[in-house]
C-alpha cells in the first residue's frame, strides 16, 4: 500500500474553512512529524455545499510551516457503563417515537437492541448512534436531534444541525478519536454481505425495511474510505451513496476493488426523482421507493 507524506487529521478537531468559514475543516498532518501543515491545506466536510480540498503540494516554492499540535497514537474508547446508561428513556427520544409510529413496536425494540441506540441528556432526548468497532471497543457516540413527526433532523436557531459527540459532551480531554462504521460491531463470520449508506438513521430504517442485509453507515460522505471499510475487506459490500454522490463513491470503490475488496455501488437512488443529498430513507418517505426490493 502506498505511503503518503500527509494525512487528514484523524482526531475530531475541526477548524474554520478558508473558503466557506464554517467550522467543518479538517487539516492535513505530516506523517513523519505528526504536526499540522499550513492552514490552507485541508478538506471541508461540507462536501456538496463547499467541497474545498487542498493537499500539501510538493513544489519548489513550498516549505511547510508546522505547529506543535501532536497527534496521539493510542485510540481512545468509551466505557460500556456509559453506553448502557443511555439504552433507556425512549419515550422522550424523538427518533425512536417516530419509528414506533411507522413500524411494529417489537421490531423497533429489536433494532434498538441490535444497534445499541441510546438517548442523550441533551437536545431534549436526542438519539445516540454508538460507534462500536468489530472488536467491541466503543469509539464514541454521535448525538443527533430529530423531529418526532417527520423523522428529520432539527436545527439550532442559527440553522446549524443539532449534533454532538459523546466524548465532547463528557468533556473528555486528550481524546484521540478514530471513528468507524456505525454498525461495525455486527460483523461476524456469518455476515457475508453488508449494505452501506451514509446516514445512521437510514441504516436503522433500512434494517427494518430489508433485514436480510446487514446495514452499516459511514456517517458522512467522506466516511466511505479504506480506513472505515478495511474490516469488511473479505465481505461483499453493496454501497448506496446519497443522490449526486455516485461518482465519488464509485471512484473509491474502484480503487479499493483493485486492492482486493468486493464493492458494488448501487445507482438506485440516481434513478429516483429527488433532490441531491437524498437517500434511500428519503425515497421511502416520498413514496418513490417502489424499487426497494431490488436495491442491489
- Could you write out the three-class secondary structure of 229-278? HHHHCCCEEEECCCCCCHHHHHHHHHHHHCCCCEEEECCHHHHCCCCCCC
Residue whose entry in the numeric block shows the C-alpha cell 439504552: 87
- The pLDDT of residue 268 is 93
What does the angle CA 41 – CA 44 – CA 49 come to, to the nearest 5 degrees?
A: 140
Inter-residue contact 90 to 112 (CB < 8 Å): yes
d(CA 155, CA 147) in angstroms, rounded, equals: 10
**In angstroms, rounded to a whole number, what is the distance separating the alpha carbons of residues 51 and 49?**
6
Identify the segments of the chain with pLDDT beneath 50: 1, 59-68, 70-72, 288-289, 291-293
Instruction: Give the whole-angstrom CA distance, residue 60 versus residue 227.
Output: 31
Q: What is the pLDDT at residue 295?
A: 55
CA–CA separation, 98 vs 116, rounded Å?
17
Residue-wise over 20-36: b if at least 16 C-beta within 10 A, else e?
eebebbbbbbeeeeeeb
Specify the CATH architecture of the domain 184-294.
Answer: 3-Layer(aba) Sandwich (3.40)
Nearest one of 238, 226, 241 to 280, comparing CA atoms: 241
Q: If 0-12 CB within 10 Å is exposed, 13-18 middle and 19+ buried, where does residue 125 land? A: buried
* Domain locations in the chain as residue ranges: 1-58, 80-169, 184-294
DSSP type of residue 113: H
The answer, as to whether pTM is greater than 0.85, is no
> Is residue 125 helix, strand or coil?
coil
Amino acid at each position: 500500500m502506498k505511503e503518503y507524506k500527509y494525512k487528514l487529521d484523524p482526531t475530531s478537531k475541526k477548524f474554520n474553512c478558508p473558503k466557506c468559514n464554517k467550522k467543518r475543516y479538517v487539516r492535513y498532518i505530516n506523517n513523519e512529524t505528526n504536526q499540522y501543515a499550513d492552514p490552507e491545506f485541508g478538506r471541508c466536510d461540507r462536501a456538496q455545499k463547499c467541497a474545498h480540498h487542498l493537499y500539501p503540494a510538493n513544489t519548489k516554492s513550498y516549505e511547510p510551516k508546522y505547529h506543535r499540535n501532536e497527534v496521539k497514537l493510542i485510540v481512545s474508547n468509551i466505557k460500556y457503563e456509559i453506553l448502557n446508561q443511555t439504552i433507556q428513556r425512549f419515550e422522550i427520544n424523538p427518533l425512536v417515537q417516530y419509528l414506533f409510529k411507522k413500524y411494529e413496536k417489537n421490531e423497533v425494540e429489536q433494532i434498538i437492541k441490535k444497534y445499541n441506540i441510546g438517548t442523550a441528556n441533551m437536545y431534549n432526548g436526542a438519539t445516540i448512534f454508538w460507534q462500536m468497532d468489530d472488536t467491541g471497543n466503543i469509539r464514541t457516540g454521535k448525538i443527533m436531534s430529530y423531529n418526532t413527526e417527520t423523522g428529520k433532523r432539527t436545527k439550532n436557531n442559527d440553522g446549524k444541525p443539532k449534533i454532538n459527540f459523546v466524548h465532547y459532551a463528557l468533556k473528555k480531554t486528550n481524546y484521540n478519536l478514530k471513528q468507524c462504521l456505525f454498525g461495525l460491531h455486527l460483523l461476524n463470520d456469518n455476515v457475508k454481505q453488508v449494505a452501506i449508506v451514509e446516514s445512521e438513521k437510514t441504516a436503522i430504517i433500512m434494517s427494518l425495511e430489508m433485514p436480510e442485509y446487514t446495514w452499516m453507515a459511514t456517517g458522512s460522505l467522506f466516511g466511505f474510505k479504506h480506513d472505515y471499510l478495511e474490516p469488511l475487506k473479505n465481505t461483499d459490500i453493496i454501497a448506496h451513496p446519497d443522490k449526486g454522490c455516485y461518482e465519488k463513491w464509485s471512484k473509491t470503490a474502484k480503487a479499493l476493488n483493485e486492492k482486493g475488496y468486493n464493492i458494488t455501488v448501487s445507482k438506485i437512488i440516481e434513478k429516483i426523482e429527488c433532490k441531491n443529498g437524498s437517500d434511500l430513507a428519503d425515497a421511502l418517505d416520498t413514496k418513490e421507493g417502489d424499487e426497494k426490493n431490488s436495491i442491489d
